[in-house]
Amino acid sequence: MAVTWKKLAYEDDVITKALLTTKGDIIYASAASTPERLGIGTDTQLLNVATDVPAWINIPAPIAHTLNSHTAADGTVDFNLQQAGDLVFKTVANVAALPIADIALGQPCWATGELSLHICTSIA
């Protein structure tokens, strides 16, 4: 018959149940070899870490996103067959001011002096 031995750990060498007081508690190291209890957050909180310390934070309000809140689109903007509300075209004072650089084939431009719409049909 085989004999098996197991070493029993001293209380100072283990994390005891006494550290946990509430269902959902989390144990983390507040310093090297120093266990710490983080109580459970509320239903709408997120676990966040700042400077190596975990903490519960409230979910921040969503930020409104618009095309202007980001860098300029570098390609086609897909509207997924939806109407583009309040779409603004490039505008110039008159036909003589129609752009000749930094334009795209098919780009619309509105000449306010003549109240006329122009479409770029070729780029040389």
pLDDT digits (tens, 9 = 90+) for 16-73: 889 999 999 999 998 888 899 999 999 889 999 988 889 999 988 887 766 666 666 6
CA distance 67 to 77: 10
**Which pLDDT score is estimated for 73?**
66
Task: Say which amino acid occupies 81.
Answer: L
pLDDT of residue 68: 60
- Which DSSP state fits 70? S
Structure tokens at 57: 């934070």
Residue written as token pair 């202007």: 68
3-state secondary structure of 119: strand
Among 32-36, 63-67, 90-94, 114-118, which is the least confidently predicted range? 63-67
pLDDT in tens, 96-111: 999 988 888 888 999 9
